[in-house]
């Protein structure tokens, strides 16, 4: 990633195009990895690319998420 990539808050052009969120480093080993600040982006990045797309509606996201969770649980 080049230094001159577009920056918007904590986001850059790479994360906006790929739909991934940068997981921040933790300060403590005991609680840091369990915080919402870390676990939220980790869970989001584990979703399939089609669910992370900004082109789908809320209903499509919910249906796709439910399908993906059932497939992970029962396959």
Please provide residue 66's backbone torsions phi and psi, each rounded to the nearest 5 degrees. Answer: -60, -45
Instruction: Identify the DSSP state of 70.
Output: H
Distance CA(25)–CA(27), nearest Å, equals 7
Q: For residue range 43-65, what is the model confidence (pLDDT) as tens digits?
A: 888 999 999 888 889 999 999 99
- pTM for the model: 0.63
**pLDDT score for 4:** 42
Q: Which residue has the higher pLDDT, 74 or 7?
A: 74
């Amino acid at each position: 990633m080049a230094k001159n990539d577009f920056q918007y808050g904590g986001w850059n052009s790479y994360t906006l195009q790929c739909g991934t969120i940068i997981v921040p480093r933790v300060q403590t080993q005991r609680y840091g990895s369990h915080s919402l600040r870390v676990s939220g982006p980790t869970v989001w990045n584990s979703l399939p690319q089609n669910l992370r797309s900004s082109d789908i509606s809320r209903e499509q996201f919910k249906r796709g998420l439910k399908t993906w969770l059932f497939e992970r649980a029962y396959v």
